[in-house]
Structure 1
Amino acid sequence: MTPPRKSWSLRGRLTRRVLGLVIGGWLVTIGLSAYVMTVELNEMFDEELQVLVETAVLFLDTAQDAGVTRSLGVETNDSERILRLLPKDGPEPPAPWPALTTDGFHDVPGWRVLRHSAEGMVIEAVQSTDWRREEIAETASIFLVLVFPLVVLLVWGLRRLAADTVVPIHTLAAEVALRKPDNLSPVDGQNLPQELQPLASAFDSYLGRIDRLRKAERDFIANAAHELRTPLATIRARLELSADPDATAAVPTIDALTRRVERLLQLARSEAGVGIGQGPADMLRILGLLLRDIRPRSRHAIQFDDGDLNRLMVAADPDALAILLRNVLENAVDHGIGTIKVRLMGNGTLTIENPTASPTFAASRFEPGEGSDGSGLGLSIITALAKAMGVTLTRRAEENTIAFSLDVPLSTVSET
């Protein structure tokens, strides 16, 4: 079994990589800066030693007892910086560094020494290497303290920048997620960045192919159903005129096939949205006409509660509403095993209940319910028409009972 792939964030990856690149560059810059700073500070310390030696030479020029061994007042309590004046040929008092014989800068363990001979004297200006390192470290720490807020600001800025960068992606995803299933119009890619333009273009192309396939499917169903109606009518007429009992017995089968062809045409029209207006329509009158037509061939009684209404004007196309209600009623008649209860309320809600041996609904399109000998077209037409007309359809399956509830919006326009 292939393990699931770990999800990753474009925003997080962009932030990490840019931040890593910038911090890496900063570390290299800080390293180079520290090296340059160390070199410059060492040069500055050496210049300080030279200034001390030059000052000592000027002092010897004016001093009366220049040949006396002495130390000037540059020695600290920790003996970090020392200036000594020694007779050139006299004894040299002990010091923390080895005795030197040549002039110039000398690096000895723990010390940086500048030795200079002048006026019969030896001048030694000395600095502790530990003191030098401490001074460099303090300077570097101050530099890092100043850099730290900039790093924090950089991290915050990169996160905000990454968040702003992926906003168009979230906007595109939200637009696609909020689309209705039948909305196959192109996405608005004008405000998308160039990197997302190919994605939007590919998605539009994909939607276009789906739209063409759906249109071809609807056209095929409509054309096939239309072409079948005339031959079926001709066959039925000949069977009715025939004296053969078998031919007469085949008439109900032809009628059932004709109704399925009519339902195919209704399905194609409903999915295409052809001829669906906004009404108004008298729902009570349409229901009365449909019940008058369906009752004679219903195997079970149909109880109709009209809520003592004289009429009920709804915002729906009359023909589309009649097709929708006919399919709901015929579905109850064909699959019910007892009295069908139809109830109409003044708020535009129609409820149809009927007992059934298999209280289940089709799981997918064109799939008939359990125990049904139908083709599943009725439910498909009901669902498609309700969606196209803006009618809220609720289906409820309980023990031995199936109920359909339709909420049709009331009309605000009087019937003319």
Structure 2
Amino acid sequence: MSGESRRSWSIRRRLTRRVLWLVLLAWLGAIALATLFLDHEINEMLDEELQAMAETTVLYIEASPGQVIPRNIGIDPGNGERVLRILRAGDPVPTEPWPVLASDGFHNANGWRVLRVTAENAVIEVAHNEAWRREEMFEAASAFLVLILPMVLLLVWGLRQSLAKGFAPLEDLTAGIAGRPPADLSPVPEAGLPDELHPLAHGLNQYIARVSALRDAERAFIANASHELRTPVAAIRARLDLSQDADARATLPMLDALTRRVERLLQLSRSEAGLGLGRGPADLIRITRLLLRETGGAQIRFDDGDLEEVQVAADPDALAILLRNLIENAVEHGSGQVLLRIREAPGAGAEVLIENPTSGTEFHDQAFAKRPGSTGTGLGLTISAELASAMGAKITRRIADGMARVEISLPGASLPAAGPGDQSPS
């Protein structure tokens, strides 16, 4: 895969860049047209100034007694920009700063914009330096460019705000999907979404519906297959247990392992079907003692905290399956005695601690994932996580300093409110 295909990109950034380029190009085009218009208007205005100056000079000469005095006004060798030249009719015409003009009117000569007007016994020539006129026009046009900078900043800010509001429904939809637990296959709500997101939400809902149908089929197959296998496997084991054939009896451990796998699959199907959704109450102490009696607690040290009973809000069967899986997992994968401790939670409910030494470094959470050499099914932790989620319990697991530690926080059972018949007489 090339680096170009791996590089991430953002619709928001790309859209912002394209809008900015489009607006900048539009502004540059508008400035070019405005500059042409401004150049025409400024030249027209300056020509009117030349004409007004020439007419004023003519009126002054005609109203003045005596002869016309030739002169140059406004000549500055450094940066002469405006020149008024008065000539006496019939006198030789100087060639500087522009050449001799033969007729009245406007002329462009030698870098000057000249207006020649003939009056009585005099010739008036008024001129602007064309470089100065262009400089004035560029100064006016540069003001537009200076105004673009704050407008660009305002545009960027406005685009960010507008895009943030425009993409908010998409981000909310993304956050809602990302925050869902893995088992949540409910449809994505389409109400309130903009028209552009309806196809996306509809496609997601169709995909979720297909995944849900496949999971239902998988659960049904696991439950049916496990249920159908229990009876024949039990019958085969009973027959082999009565057999005197040594080879036949050697298969009993394999049948026991197969029985455990079938039981685990049944437990998984029950947990995925919603077993343990907060029903109860269940006596945690009693259930734990029954489990230890069934499994033979030789490798387990049980500390009940001197509690006679602890009522928790959980289905008794689901709680028994949860604890059995965690206890058996600790016994099988541990390398020493397992500590099982029960204590009441500071608020309500109870906490169960299962601790054992181990050579492992991490828990395998994925279904059917097992350590090398394990004889288990790889479903114990998966079933425990499913049941804990269903009954509202919280499981915390960690391995540190060669010790595996599992903590289960169980919600307390809410006691029913006392009725009028339960009150003691006064």
**What's the TM-score, normalizing by structure 2?**
0.84
What does residue 279 of structure 2 align with?
278
Q: Spell out the pairing of 1:205-284 with structure 2 (5 A cutoff).
A: 205-239=206-240, 253-274=254-275, 276-284=277-285
Shift of 1:227: 1.6
**How big is the shift at 1:263?**
2.0
Question: Is residue 344 of structure 2 the alignment partner of residue 346 of structure 1?
Answer: yes
Residue matched to 1:384: 386
- The range that moved more, 355-364 or 210-219, is 355-364
> For the structure 1 residues 283 and 47, does the alpha-carbon distance in structure 2 shift closer, same or farther, using more than 3 Å as the test?
same
- The one-character-per-residue Cα deviations of 1:139-178 (angstroms, maximum 9, x if unpaired) are 3334444444333322332233333333333333322222
Q: C-alpha displacement at 1:43, in angstroms? A: 1.3
Q: Which amino acid aligns with 1:392?
A: K
Do 2:104 and 2:117's aligned partners in 1 also have CA atoms closer than 8 Å?
yes
Distance 1:321 1:134 in 2: 90
Distance 1:201 1:98 in 2: 82
Check the 8 A contact 2:264/2:377 in 1, yes or no.
no
Which among 369, 374, 381 is matched to residue 367 of structure 1?
369
Task: Please tell me whether residue 104 in structure 1 is matched to residue 105 in structure 2.
Answer: yes
Task: Measure, in 2, the Cα distance between the counterparts of 1:152 and 1:169.
Answer: 26
Aligned to 1:164: 165
Structure 1 residues without counterparts, runs of 5 or longer: none
When residues 18 and 335 of structure 1 are mapped into structure 2, their CA distance, relative to the original with a 3 A threshold, is closer
Equivalenced residues, count? 411
Contact 2:276 2:390 in 1 (8 A): no
Q: Which residue of 1 aligns with 2:317?
A: 319
CA distance in 1, matches of 2:148, 2:326: 75
2:300, 2:338 within 8 Å by CA — same for their partners in 1? yes
* Offset from partner CA, 1:20-49 (integer Å, 9 cap, x none): 111111111111111111111111111222
1:220, distance to aligned residue in structure 2 (A) = 0.8
Offset of residue 102 of structure 1: 1.8
Partner SS for 2:339: strand
Alpha-carbon displacement from aligned partner over 1:46-72 (angstroms, at most 9, x marks no partner): 12222233334434443433x523348
The alignment-based identity, stated in percent, is: 52
* Cα distance in 1 between the residues matched to 2:215 and 2:51: 92
Q: Give the Cα–Cα distance (whole angstroms) in 2 for the partners of residues 91 and 327 of structure 1.
A: 121
2:300 to 283, 299, 302: 302
Offset, 1:6: 2.6
Determine if contact 2:223/2:265 at 8 Å carries over to the other structure.
yes
Counterpart code for 2:271: S
* 2-structure distance, mates of 1:182, 1:409: 21
Q: How far is 1:18 from its partner? A: 0.8
Q: TM-score, normalised by structure 1?
A: 0.86
Cα deviation, 1:371-390, whole Å, max 9, x if unaligned, reads 32122232332232223222
AA in 2 matched with 1:329: I
Structure 2 counterpart of 1:75, one-letter code: G
The structural deviation recorded for 1:287 is 1.1
Deviation of the 1:309 alpha carbon: 0.5
Greater shift in the superposed pair: 107-116 or 86-95: 86-95
| Distance verdict in 2 for CA 1:293–1:168, change over 3 Å | same
Please name the residue that 1:292 is paired with: 293
Q: Is the 8 A contact 1:361 1:369 kept in 2?
A: no
Q: Give the alignment partner of residue 329 of structure 2, picking from 321, 327, 331.
A: 331
Give the distance between the partners of 1:368 and 1:43, measured in 2 at CA: 91
Q: Show the 5 A alignment for 1:32-181.
A: 32-65=33-66, 67-71=67-71, 75=74, 79-92=80-93, 95-181=96-182
Deviation at 1:221, TM superposition (A): 0.3
Query: Which 10-residue stretch deviates more, 235-244 or 369-378?
Result: 235-244
Given that 1:336 and 1:355 are in contact with CA atoms closer than 8 Å, whether structure 2 keeps it comes out as yes
What's the offset of the Cα at 1:247? 5.4
Q: 1:59 to 1:341 in 2, by over 3 A?
A: closer
Q: Secondary structure at the match of 1:307?
A: coil
In structure 2, the gaps of 5 or more residues are: 419-426
Judged with a 3 Å threshold, the aligned counterparts in structure 2 of structure 1 residues 353 and 69 are, in CA distance, closer, same or farther, namely: closer
2:408 corresponding residue in structure 1:
406
RMSD between aligned residues: 3.1
Cα distance, 1:341–1:106 mapped onto 2, change above 3 Å: closer
SS across alignment from 1:345: strand
Inter-partner Cα distance in structure 1 for 2:407 and 2:199 = 45
How far off its partner does 1:249 sit?
5.9
Is the CA contact 2:365–2:382 (under 8 Å) kept in the aligned structure 1? no
Asked if 2 retains the 8 angstrom alpha-carbon contact of 1:281 and 1:415, the reply is no
User: Which letter does structure 1 place at the counterpart of 2:3?
Assistant: P
Quick check: 1:315–1:411 contact (8 Å CA) kept in 2?
A: yes
